[in-house]
Amino acid sequence: MKLLWVLGFMGMVLCRRTDGFADVNGTKEEDLHYTESNVYGYGPNGYGVFSRPLMVGLTLINGAAAKGAVCLDGTLPGFHIHRGYGSGANSWLIQLEGGGWCDTIRNCVYRKKTRRGSSAYMEKQIPFAGILSNKAGENPDFYNWNRVKVRYCDGASFGGDSQNEAAQLYFRGQRIWEAAMADLMSKGMRYANQALLSGCSAGGVATVLHCDEFRAMFRGTTRVKCLSDAGLFLDVIDVSGRRTLRNMFRRVVSLQGAYKSLPWSCTNRLNPTLCFFPQHLIASVKTPLFLVNAAYDTWQIQASLASPTADPNGLWHECTKNHARCAAWQMNFLQGDLTSFVSVFMLCVPNDD
């Protein structure tokens, strides 16, 4: 039986992307670099309307190096964990951090000098708010669960397995995923009554990629589900008639060796690049899967459909910033993108085959 649940096009947003593609040299598509910022639910004065969020320290995975599970620069990967209690003592929520991808040696060398590629630059503490909050008023479903945020420092959605010795780059996303899960299992997750794997953006892609792997780690009585937020990146034609995102994913998969860890259920019928797109994976995911995505995803419009490279004359600039400024022909183009979203979501209608 296959069962996938869909929350809809809009829902509780766990993250947002603010920078989109940043064109490193201003001209070439192959040098596009993308980062994102997580939103922890703060108000304009720094914190939300409830109270100051819980600050949780960084835990490095000390045994990871022996397994070759290291960040881009060779430092140890890590996570932030806050223990559950009471009715949530044996329930676990894992959130895979997002943060874009690096698809060229140049981009990855830049990335390894940031918190997205090295634990040496990661915050020693981060706020747990939203779905990670410990306050029942903010997070009634998960406030007393064991809540974990796994830091993202590989640049391939926890999926690479390669290295570049000349540039001293370690593409070990798959090993980081395995080392993090093994460490958490040893910390009590193996006894979970229920477990939820979640992720935002690039972490949302990772959630789909690893959903069934996550389920296989637990005993049969454990209730396991997955939640991918803003991770449904579509393989669509941009305003210039090209496929910007497919070209970037092709470079990520090739450079970082991500093709080695992509689900066989997809790679046995499609090119590995296409299997990095969740739209080609969700139909074969056997674990209950929630998808949350905006119908008109800001990042995909600004960085994939109408990126500066695809729109060098800036005809789409105002439209991508504010849909009220879109001309009729531009709205027709965006409507086609929405139709693509609907088609993908239709794959998620539960069935009992």
pLDDT digits (tens, 9 = 90+) for 186-203: 999 999 999 999 999 999
Phi and psi dihedrals of 64, rounded to 5?
Answer: -70, -40
β pairing state of 91-96 and 194-200: parallel
Please give the DSSP secondary-structure letter assigned to residue 299.
H
Q: Select, from the ranges 28-32, 169-173, 313-317, the one with the highest average predicted confidence (pLDDT).
A: 169-173
Q: What is the spatial distance between Cα 93 and Cα 70, in angstroms, rounded to a whole number?
A: 23
Neighbours of 287 (CB within 10 A): 18
pLDDT of residue 336: 80
pLDDT of residue 346: 66
pTM equals 0.87
pLDDT of residue 36: 39
3-class state of residue 38 by DSSP: coil
pLDDT of residue 42: 38
Q: pLDDT category, 301, cuts 50, 70, 90?
A: confident
pLDDT of residue 323: 84
Mean pLDDT of 69-80: 98
Q: pLDDT category, 293, cuts 50, 70, 90?
A: confident
Whether 37 shows a pLDDT value over 90: the answer reads no
**Higher local confidence (pLDDT), 61 or 47:** 61
Q: pLDDT category, 176, cuts 50, 70, 90?
A: very high
Give me the CATH code for the 16-346 domain, please: 3.40.50
Q: Can you tell me which residue has the tokens 């989109």?
A: 20
Q: pLDDT category, 304, cuts 50, 70, 90?
A: confident
Whether 45 shows a pLDDT value over 50: the answer reads no
Q: What is the spatial distance between Cα 5 and Cα 287, in angstroms, rounded to a whole number?
A: 10
Q: What is the spatial distance between Cα 103 and Cα 245, in angstroms, rounded to a whole number?
A: 11
Residues 195, 92 contacting (CB under 8 angstroms): yes
Question: Rounded to whole angstroms, what are the CA distances from 62 to 67, 70, 282?
Answer: 10, 10, 34
Dihedral sign of CA atoms 223, 224, 230, 232 in order: negative
Residues 174, 262 contacting (CB under 8 angstroms): no
Q: Which residues contact 159 (CB under 8 A, 6 or more apart)?
A: 173, 174, 177, 206, 209, 256, 258, 261, 262, 276
**Higher local confidence (pLDDT), 44 or 23:** 44
Q: Which two tokens stand for residue 346?
A: 């239709």
Q: pLDDT category, 298, cuts 50, 70, 90?
A: confident
Whether 282 shows a pLDDT value over 80: the answer reads yes
Query: Which residues pair with residue 33 across a beta bridge?
Result: 22
Mean pLDDT of 3-31: 38
pLDDT tens for 91-128 read 999 999 999 999 999 999 999 999 999 999 999 999 99
Residues 143, 83 contacting (CB under 8 angstroms): no
pLDDT of residue 350: 54
CA geometry: angle 221, 225, 229, nearest 5 deg: 170
Whether 11 shows a pLDDT value over 70: the answer reads no
Residues 162, 254 contacting (CB under 8 angstroms): no
Where are the domains positioned within the chain? 16-346
Residues 97, 71 contacting (CB under 8 angstroms): no
pLDDT of residue 28: 36
pLDDT of residue 95: 98
Q: Which residues contact 104 (CB under 8 A, 6 or more apart)?
A: 30, 31, 251, 255
Mean pLDDT of 324-348: 79
Q: Which of 127-141, 216-230, 259-273, 294-308 has the lowest mean pLDDT?
A: 294-308
The rounded mean pLDDT for the chain is: 86
Q: What percent of the chain has pLDDT over 70?
A: 82
